[in-house]
Structure 1
Amino acid sequence: MISSLAVGGGTMAAGGNHRALTTTQIVHRRLRTEIVSMQRLPGEAISEKEIALEHGVSRTPIREALLRLAEERLVDIVPKSGTSVAKIPIADVLESQVARAALEQVTTKAAVQLAKGSDIARMRALIIAQQEHKEAEDYEKFYATDEDLHHAIALAGGYPGIWTIIDRIKLHVDRYRLLTIQQPLRMERVLQEHADIVEAIAAHDEDRAAEAMRLHLAGLSAEDLSEIRDRNPSYFTGDLEQVLDRWRRETTSLN
């Protein structure tokens, strides 16, 4: 039976200091994490029966969790055919990235104005940790530290709620990004871009910080998308050329 779940370094458990999670919430979070982290690949079948047996619960909470994932467009449920991990919708990658770029301009500019010395120290420590993960070729921890840095910037700017919004809208971007992280020199480039952002925040240079963040998030380019799609065609759905045309127009208008 499920009694607790480690989430973000903490444990949610009945009788503990945190609000107990329902079985549905636990299964939803676990499957969501596995899908977004590409532990479960697009098109892969998901068995309600196997998950229920694994957790020692009935199939009802499993089904409810899968329905939530279907609402997030992370799984496809086809009656009488079964459930599978949804493919990555190319159009959603575009829309999410445009929205994220706009929101992170806000959090970055706010961090320039409000970040304390301890905030800057945490950001720099995260970059050091990310460097260590790169050297160890630990892609999972490298990615997790990347998330922590962007979250730290939002917190320093006094916008934890905006980060929650960003976290919700970038699910498909995250899946796509995990396919790019192993590209040659990708991690080196990310590290340098992060350093540029943090040092601009530390210098209280709003224009430089905003531009550094814009360039960083623009790193998911049309060319990258085309290359990754060609290397993993079964992982994506949607009209690539149509989306790329719109991508170029949107990024040009934001520059």
Structure 2
Amino acid sequence: MNTPTPPQSVTENSLSAARRVYLALRQRIVGMDMLPGTRVVERDIAEEFGTSRTPVHEAVQRLADEGLIEVIPRSGTFVARIPLDALEEANLVRHALELAIIEKAATRATPEDAVRLHAILQEQAVAIAASDFHAFHRTDEQFHAALASMSGCPGVWPIIQQAKTQMDRYRQLTLPLAGRMAGVLEEHRAVVAAIEARDPARAAGAMREHLDHVMPVLEITRKLRPDFFISHLDD
């Protein structure tokens, strides 16, 4: 006779719902589907996800701890603006780790790894043709994660992802700029060519050039949407 599965406790159900809401809201915020300054109404979110207010509140608090949501007393809860100071810090962390990864990848990559990278580049070309910014960003993440994997240090990629959370929001704003996605694709191709040549120094140079192009367009983006950003100088 089959033993019935014991029902989940209220606490387990709450944790599961809180994680589901957290992951969905986080994706929307980082993907800029929920723009900086958007009011976050817990009641509406609970209705959307078919859950109580408790797991929604837990998810919102977790996102607030990550700097993605801002709770303003007597005003409300909003999607946080992008902190300019954090972008510079994230860029430094990403540079250090990605340059270390790429040198290892250039010495360890196999022909199969090169095929995998070219497949990702093709997906990026398709995303550009379709003007699909989300698809392009997704394949960009796949490209850099693949480099970490073939370097033999896959655990470094989650660290980079966590460090560049705010930068990812900013990068979503840059993708619609004329020529931006095409430029990124060409930079990726230069990285892949260096890896195929098994040239660590060349690969590091190509990656450095790629990463150095992230911040210069910040001022352009900030001028287009100044309401999306905040600096400690504004405090």
* TM-score normalised by length of structure 1: 0.84
For the aligned residue pairs, the C-alpha RMSD in angstroms reads 1.7
2:179 matches 1:185: yes
Task: Give the length in aligned residue pairs.
Answer: 222
Structure 1: segments with no counterpart, 5+ residues = 1-13, 15-19, 241-255
- Which residue pairs with 2:195 in the alignment? 201
**CA separation in 1, counterparts of 2:62 and 2:39?**
17
Partner of 2:114: 120
CA distance, structure 1, for counterparts of residue 105 and residue 213 of structure 2: 21
| 2:48 aligned with 1:54 | yes
Q: Which residue of 2 aligns with 1:148?
A: 142
Between the aligned partners of 2:78 and 2:215, the Cα distance in structure 1 is: 28
Instruction: Summarize the alignment of residues 103-252 of structure 1 with structure 2, pairs less than 5 Å apart.
Output: 103-222=97-216, 224-238=217-231
Alignment-mate amino acid for residue 220 of structure 2:
E
**Distance (Å, rounded) in 2 between the aligned partners of 1:83 and 1:39:** 17
Identical aligned pairs, as a percentage?
41
Post-superposition offset of 1:221 = 3.0
1:183-235 CA-to-partner distances (Å, cap 9, x unmatched) read 1111111111000001101111000000100110100133x111111110100
CA distance in 1 between counterparts of 2:230 and 2:152 reads: 37
**Counterpart in the other structure of 1:10:** none
Letter in structure 2 aligned against 1:138: D
Equivalent of residue 70 in structure 1, options 59, 64, 87: 64
5+ residue gaps, structure 2, are: 1-6, 8-12
Deviation at 1:82, TM superposition (A): 1.8
TM-score normalised by L of structure 2: 0.91
State the match for 2:89 in structure 1. Answer: 95
What CA distance in whole angstroms lies between the structure 2 residues aligned with 1:195 and 1:239? 37
Greater C-alpha radius of gyration? 2
Q: Distance in 2 between matches of 1:232 and 1:184?
A: 16
The CA distance in 1 between the partners of 2:62 and 2:198, in whole Å, is 42
Measure the CA separation in 2 of the matches of 1:61 and 1:112.
Answer: 45
**Alpha-carbon deviation of 1:239?**
5.6
**1:80 Cα deviation after fit:** 3.4
Deviation at 1:149?
Answer: 0.4
